[in-house]
Amino acid sequence: MIIKGADILTPQGIIESGIIEIKDGIITRISPPECGCEGAGRTCGCVDEHSVIDATGLTVVPGFIDIHAHGGGGCDIEDGNFESLEKMCITHAAHGTTGILPATTSPPRGLLLEVAGLFRSYTGRPTSRGAEVLGIHLEGPWLNPKMKGAQPLSGIRRPSIDELDRLIDASSGNIRMVTLAPEMPGALDLIRHAKDSGLIVSLGHSSGTYDQVLAAVDKGATHITHAYNAMSGLHHRNPGMVGAMLSCDRLTVDVILDGFHIHRAAAKILLKCKGKDNVALITDATMAAGMPEGEYELGGQKVIHKDGAVRLPDGTLAGSALTMDKAVRYLVLELGCSLSDAVKMASQTPARILGLDKKKGSVEVGKDADLVLLDKDLQVKATFVCGDPVYVQEGVLR
């Protein structure tokens, strides 16, 4: 397949009205419009062998990678069935997401094992019509109940190496990230075990001190979950988790930029301290993402999607209705970031956090053809996963 006519955002800059050639799901060539090929009526001599998509007037950017989403399209990962997982992936693909880590909350042991088992059965299935599932993110159940946020209190429990091993086995090794509170009894041992098991350890839902966070980093933690939210704050005599997050170069971080979870000034501080290479955009999306306002569920609890936010009945923020394209637009339009920097935080940075940056996260020869076509208003017009069109707005491509 060839995509022609679009501006192409690459790590080296924008190629105007360029050409992307895709074969077997991989980008095989990126070139400017005049590349020296001969042949009247032919595109680089390849028209006879390729499907050609005219994307004139659009911009090609790398597909977005969301490392923290609970649901979308009226579905939740804790529904525990493949159909809900696929609908969630289809919903997010329509907003530019090409890779996703579905995230759990803190359900009872039996349900968590059932959800983990969904990924065992997912292995080997045909490619989803939506975003590619890159693994599972356990946001819990080993959290601090005092910092539960919208997590169900009944499911929060002490860190357990045995339970983690059971979940890894149930998922056929498809758990990729775990969020936990480092100050809880047994947490440091669990962090070391998770790291040795090949998992990315993230810290969150925690009242941990600055020193406790650094102790967790020494054991193998490398990431912070949803910056500023559900964590001990910054004080000049007690820096807390926020202080460690902002000052520790060994920690990457993700952030929810929906206009509700953090103030724009806090977002600017985060970007100034950590930089675009260490901040990943996430949605923390609930089943309300891509859906009209109304009542939904998160972790078995009723949540209300109203005025753009998702909250528990008591007003506590409970995930979001955010999608990755909205987060990118927020960075560009509200915080003044360049499109290149915003897209990097939605694609290349999360790919690097997951250890997938050699094959995903940027538009480069040899990488997966995970691509998004944006119009001048940064609205998603088409999404491709490994070269397959998983979303195309009607009447856009010729």
Omega before residue 107 within 30° of 0, cis: no
d(C-alpha 179, C-alpha 248), whole Å? 18
Please tell me whether residue 3 adopts helix, strand or coil conformation. strand
**Both tokens of residue 247?**
């000052």
| Secondary structure, 3-state, 22-39 | EECCEEEEEECCCCCCCC
DSSP assignment of 120-170, as one string? HHHTTPPPPSSSEE--EEEE-SS--GGG-TTS-GGG-----HHHHHHHHHH
| Closest listed residue to residue 137, CA positions, set 319, 305, 278, 313 | 319
Distance of CA 80 to the CA centre of its chain: 20
The active-site residue out of 66, 79, 258, 284 is 284
Which helix H or strand E contains 321, and what residues bound it?
A: none
Residues 6+ apart with CB under 8 A from 138: 103, 104, 112, 167, 175, 177, 178, 179
Q: Report in angstroms the alpha-carbon separations of 123 from 100, 127, 133, 179, 188.
A: 15, 10, 10, 23, 31
Q: Which string of b and e fits 261-274 if b means at least 16 CB within 10 Å?
A: bbeeeebebbbeeb
Distance of CA 278 to the CA centre of its chain: 14
Class of residue 331 by CB neighbours under 10 A (exposed 0-12, middle 13-18, buried 19+): buried
User: 284 catalytic, yes or no?
Assistant: yes
Please tell me whether residue 322 adopts helix, strand or coil conformation. coil
d(C-alpha 245, C-alpha 258), whole Å? 20
Q: What residues are labeled active site? A: 284
